[in-house]
Amino acid sequence: MNKPPRGLNPAHARRRARRFAMQALYQWQLSGQNLNDIEAQYREEPDMARADVDYFSELLHRIPASIDELDSEYAGLAGRETEEIDPIELALLRIATYEFKYHIEIPYKVVIHEAVQLAKTFGANEAYKFVNGVLDSLARRLRKIETGG
């Protein structure tokens, strides 16, 4: 598990890392800019000092590297093609799907809660409902033991 900055609450540091990763992935999706350049830009953000930078970097680089795999996990649950999903919602679905698959130490309810909160903050009016619905169904499939599904 990645270590948060010294003296900071690990959950808060990871929450900030997710927020920055969502914004960085959004930027990457729209611009196609080099991931290393995006990362360098975000590392200069003053609030990044309070984020889990290692986790941010992991999300920023590993999600694009496994995008087809991640997108295929929720494709049938979204009710629309990946290209039709709002870029904020898409970034959140990808982050949450990645966490469901590769960070089983994070409870599924936390994964969903974090994505929904970011959707409420950055997404369209009803984005959080879409994100919640897709991730709730996906959690039952990817985290069967944990969800009891």
- pLDDT tops 90 at residue 60: yes
Q: Is 67-149 the same fold as 1-65?
A: yes
Cβ contact 88:18 at 8 Å: no
Q: What is the pLDDT of residues 101-123, one digit of tens each?
A: 999 999 999 999 999 999 999 99
> CA quadruple 98, 100, 101, 104: dihedral positive or negative?
positive
Domain 1-65 sits in CATH 2.60.40.10: no
Alpha-carbon Rg for the chain in angstroms: 15
The residue ranges of every structural domain in the chain are: 1-65, 67-149
Which is the CATH superfamily of the domain at 67-149?
A: NusB-like (1.10.940.10)
pTM, rounded to two decimals: 0.94
